[in-house]
Amino acid sequence: MTGLKQLIFDADDTLWENNFIYESTRSAYIKICTEHNLNEKQIIADFFRIENDVVLQKGYGSQNFLHILKVLYEMHLAPRAQKEFSRIIDVFLTQVNNPRPVFPNVIQTLEYLSGKYQLYVLTKGDLNEQRNKLEQSGLKKYFIESFIRSEKSVATYQEILTQKKWSEKEVCMIGNSPKSDINPALQCGIYAIYIPYAHTWRLEQEELLTRHPRLRQVGNFDQLRSIL
């Protein structure tokens, strides 16, 4: 990977933990439903179906997730279990409104890499929400610029390359999502480093282009220093 100049980092679940909050909230909701003798498989199927529709129509972010939960509550439980449901919402809001836990060795690694490369962030979701996460993380100072988009596709990467007048062979995307971070970056012609994460959102899962010559994989964020 010689000749690199620009490194672009995904944010959620690459720099800091994010999706685990959503998974734990979903699990808490399912638990309430099963305690009221509802079928778990049906609850999960309903959750995924409504989540798919909301993401397609409204996009990403905590407010859209709250909308999903409220639709499901009205479908499954209302007016039962109002107190339990309200507690789930309160816990979720507390978690999403506080700074996300930055992954181990992210700060030290960014400090090291910022001395060798130009660092950028590319994330998708609600503009203000993503901007606030970056501010709260304390990591903003390491990045020259942050790109916040509604989606991350081949067109997104091509747009950035064109806008910045970057050469494909000098750019590398780093992230945990095969669908948003790795595959479209490779398809655009730039390098990509995949950092697997145990709680990557199901809608970000996709078969990796594993045989692509510009793909690398590391086990954790700290290992970036050994290949960059």
At 214-228, the pLDDT tens digits run: 999 999 999 999 999
Decide: 85 and 91 in contact? Cβ < 8 Å: no
Which amino acid makes up residue 13? Answer: D
Residues 75 and 166 in one domain: no
| Per-residue model confidence (pLDDT) at position 98 | 94
Please state the pTM of the whole predicted model: 0.95
| Residue 8's pLDDT band (cuts 50, 70, 90) | very high
Classify residue 1: in a domain, yes or no: no
Domain count across the chain: 2
Using the Cα atoms of residue 179, residue 146, residue 223 and residue 190 in order, give the sign of their dihedral.
positive
Indicate whether 1 pLDDT > 90: no
CATH number of domain containing 90: 1.10.150.240
Which amino acid makes up residue 4? Answer: L
Indicate whether 2 pLDDT > 90: no
Residues 11 and 23 in one domain: no
Residues 119 and 169 in one domain: yes
User: Peptide bond before 79: cis, by omega within 30 degrees of 0?
Assistant: yes
What residues form DSSP beta bridges with 149? 124
Q: How many other β-carbons are positioned within 10 Å of the β-carbon of residue 163?
A: 9
Tens of pLDDT, residues 109-144: 999 999 999 999 999 999 999 999 999 999 999 999
CATH number of domain containing 123: 3.40.50.1000
Residues 38 and 140 in one domain: no
Decide: 137 and 161 in contact? Cβ < 8 Å: no
Residues 162 and 184 in one domain: yes
List the domain range (segments joined by +) for residue 88: 19-97
